[in-house]
Amino acid sequence: MSREFHEGELLVQRRAGVQADAEKLSGMLGPASLDGGIGRFLAAQSFAAMTARDRDGRLWTSPLVGAPGFLEGQGRRLRIHAGFADADPLHGVSVGRSVGLIAVDFDRRRRARINGTLVVAGPDGFEVDADQTYGNCPQYISQRHLDDPGETPTPDGGPAARWSAGLTDAHRAALRRADTMFVGTIHPDRGADASHRGGNPGFVRVEGDRIWWPDYPGNNLFNTLGNLAVDDTAALLVVDFERGTALHLSGRATLEWTERGAPGDDGRTGRRVSFTPDRIVETAGLPLHVSGDVRPSPVSPPIAGGVDSP
């Protein structure tokens, strides 16, 4: 994988005035390695989210859950000892697909991203040939404790999915109360990417069938926004950690530039992402067990208004 940023990332970095700052971190984009610290981190996790295109070419982001050790990295190869249930939109994802994966330690507010190509896919799991591996900062991660799910479940069967073409009131309510969301994007040459977005409940706004959220200050790499500057294909995932359910949304997203401090600009960046879904899937049965209280990230900005109507 090239250490150079692609054209979309450079475009957003220049407009945001942070290209020099981003260049200092370009070493993060170097050759992939899952040895050392990142391998140990992955081995300790029980939750990840993967972005890929399904058998029909539609982009989705879906959860992967397993006992610690279900993510096993060595060299450039990531082995995932868990699969997708029949109802999941990525069930049956095929070898050769570009994938983006993010693993999150909610307890310690840490996360790592792995982008690459699916080289093995079967009912019991996957293998990814990694092109890119790097850690992300702990900002905006709501702290929660996920209990060990025990033995990794067999993903066969399970509750049927509920599919829809538009948002329901229940979908809107789930989005508005979310403090954690995963965003999937894709670049025609660099491939798929999965990223985390977090904030205080209410940071995701819903206006009819349009969903939007403010962009918060981060590492200035703009992987997600850079992909959207080139290809507006996008996917969202919102997980209900208490109920073990997931809301998957596939559609189109655009980066919008606003005045800094405009209504809804919680992070005062003058940037927000607007997303319109055209396919929605609700799934259940995730082996998630949460104990203790949820602690909001201390750096998440307060909600700064903005339209949020049915």
pTM: 0.94
Q: Is 176 exposed, middle or buried (0-12, 13-18, 19+ CB in 10 A)?
A: middle
What pLDDT shows up at residue 150? 65
Give the pair of three-digit tokens for residue 282.
């609700």
What pLDDT shows up at residue 137? 82
Give helix 7-16 / helix 223-230 axis angle, nearest 10°.
110
Q: Are 99 and 192 in contact (CB under 8 A)?
A: yes
Q: How far apart, in whole angstroms, are the C-alpha atoms of residue 125 and residue 253?
A: 30
Q: Tell me the sheet residues that pair with 242.
A: none
Q: How far apart, in whole angstroms, are the C-alpha atoms of residue 147 and residue 145?
A: 6
In the chain, the DSSP E strands lie at: 47-53, 59-65, 71-74, 77-80, 98-105, 110-122, 125-136, 143-146, 162-164, 180-187, 191-198, 205-207, 210-214, 233-240, 245-257, 271-283, 290-295
Q: Are 206 and 176 in contact (CB under 8 A)?
A: yes
What pLDDT shows up at residue 60? 98
How many residues make up the chain in this entry? 310
Q: How far apart, in whole angstroms, are the C-alpha atoms of residue 126 and residue 94?
A: 10
Return the sign of the alpha-carbon dihedral for residues 186, 190, 192, 195: negative
Number of C-beta neighbours around residue 293 at 10 A: 8
In sequence order, what are the residues at sequence separation of 6 or more whose Cβ sits closer than 8 angstroms to the Cβ of residue 93? 52, 53, 54, 55, 84, 99, 118, 121, 126
Q: Are 123 and 83 in contact (CB under 8 A)?
A: yes
> Phi and psi dihedrals of 48, rounded to 5?
-150, 165
Domain boundaries 7-295, corresponding CATH code:
2.30.110.10
> Phi and psi dihedrals of 176, rounded to 5?
-70, -25
Q: Tell me the sheet residues that pair with 47.
A: 65
What pLDDT shows up at residue 3? 60
Helix (H, G, I), strand (E, B) or coil at 223: helix
One pLDDT digit (tens) per residue for the chain, 310 residues? 446 899 999 999 999 999 999 898 877 666 789 999 999 999 999 999 999 999 999 999 999 999 999 999 999 999 999 999 999 999 999 999 999 999 999 999 999 999 999 999 987 899 999 999 988 889 999 999 999 886 544 455 556 799 999 999 999 999 999 999 999 999 999 999 999 999 999 999 999 999 999 999 998 999 999 999 999 999 999 999 999 999 999 999 999 999 999 999 999 999 999 999 999 999 999 999 899 999 999 999 999 876 554 4
- Three state DSSP letters for 235-263: EEEEEECCCCEEEEEEEEEEEEECCCCCC
